[in-house]
Amino acid sequence: MLSKGQGKTIRTYEQLVCALEKDNRADEACRIWEFKIAHDLQSVPWRFCRLMLGIYYRNNKLDRLVKLFKNLEACGRKPPSKDIVRKVEDAYEMLGLVEEKKELLEKYKDLFDKPSSNDKKKGRQFKKVEKNIKPA
């Protein structure tokens, strides 16, 4: 994947990690993340971080998921969506860290208060359907 003169960019590593995970080689994907990417979380896009959090979640590496999330928080990065917080919340619960789970939910409750982009789309679709239905 890195032949033919391509540069080693974050996006290239993201594609490689994604391909490895789809090929059921999550351990290799995790090694690439740890050796090449995880040392500089400030510059890693949230899309890539979300991918790694998902890989850790699906492969039951919950301690690594929590560690990555805490490292992202330590860099001053806040999760952009509630799906990330939900994964971390589930990880805390499965690890028996109930107090940390409560603190997490309190800290990011604003993400759950505002409607997500999916909710907005559903609202628009509902309004379209309402307009098409004429009263009898």
130 part of a folded domain: no
In a domain, 127, yes or no: no
Q: SS3 for 128?
A: helix
CB 17 within 8 A of CB 29: yes
Residue 22 falls inside a structural domain = yes
Is 75 inside any structural domain? yes
Whole-angstrom distance, CA of residue 85 vs CA of residue 58: 15
In a domain, 124, yes or no: no
Give CA–CA dist 113/18, Å, rounded: 31
Asked whether residue 24 is domain-assigned, the answer is yes
Residue-level pLDDT, tens digit, the chain, 136 residues: 445 555 578 899 999 999 999 999 999 999 999 998 888 888 899 999 999 999 999 999 999 999 999 999 999 999 999 999 999 999 999 999 999 999 999 999 888 887 766 555 555 555 555 565 655 5
Q: Is residue 103 part of a domain?
A: yes
Range(s) of the domain holding residue 37: 10-115
**At 93, which CATH number?**
1.25.40
Domain count, the chain: 1
Question: Is the residue at 43 inside a domain?
Answer: yes
